[in-house]
Structures are given as structure tokens and as C-alpha cells.
Amino acid sequence: MIAARETGAVPAQLNQTIVHCRDNLAAATWVSELLGLDAPSSFGHFQVVQTGNGVSLDYSSTEEEFDRQHYAFLVTEDDFDEIFGRITSRELEHWADPARSQPGRINHHDGGRGVYFEDLDGHFLEIITRPYGSGA
């Protein structure tokens, strides 16, 4: 098999992911406001939140039970301050770790900052300023 890079083709990139929720407009609006992104747009039965790197979160309402997922967002230091300010002003529970053993704190992995919190439907969201494993 010939690698995409050898042929000049663009390697596979994540373009979109579906996020199941109870109310797609409420969930998409909540996350876009919290993260400081543009308001969601409609596409079919989806409410679409566009992230800064072109990947969209396509919110889909359902009455069925759904698995809660984890979504991590890489943000700048300034954006972290703004988003974390909204987390604390909304009095959202937050943790420094995915085990939720360090409530009300942030982490400093790889010389950056990170924090975990839940969205309206119990999805576990995370903002980080440095990718994990990138070194200090």
C-alpha cells in the first residue's frame, strides 16, 4: 500500500463527529457559548458547532439512551483563562483529573493547563493548553 503522503494526497483528518443529546439546540448553544465559538448552525436535524481546526460537533437530539463520551479541546492560554472563567462563573463542577479525584482544581500536565467538566447531557469535556505527551 502506498502512503497518502507519498502520493501527495491529504492524510485522513477527522471532519465531524455526532454528539447525542436530549436537546440539540440547547446542548450546541451551551458548548459554543462556553468555548467561545460561533453559534451553532442547522444542517438537517443536526445543530452543528464548528471548532477552530475545522472539526464539527454535530449535535443530534434523541429520546433513546446514549453513551456519554469524552471530548477534549486544545485551546490557547488566553482562551483557557476565558473558558475557565465561564466555568467558574457558572459554578460548574470541574476537576483536574478524569477520575474526578481532584475537584475544583486544574492540572499542569506537560507544562500547560487542563480541566475537566460535564456538559448538559453528562458528556465529559476537557480543555487543555498543551497536548498530553508534548513535554514540558
Q: What is the pLDDT at residue 60?
A: 98
Q: What is the pLDDT at residue 5?
A: 63
Q: Which tens digit of pLDDT belongs to each residue from 59-110?
A: 999 999 999 999 999 999 999 999 999 999 999 999 999 999 999 999 999 9
**130-134 average pLDDT score:** 91
Report pTM. 0.90
Neighbouring CB atoms inside 10 A of 120's CB total 14
* Domains of the chain with bracketed CATH: 14-64 (3.30.720.120), 68-136 (3.10.180.10)
| Beta-sheet strands, E only, within the chain | 16-21, 41-43, 46-50, 56-61, 70-74, 94-95, 114-118, 124-128
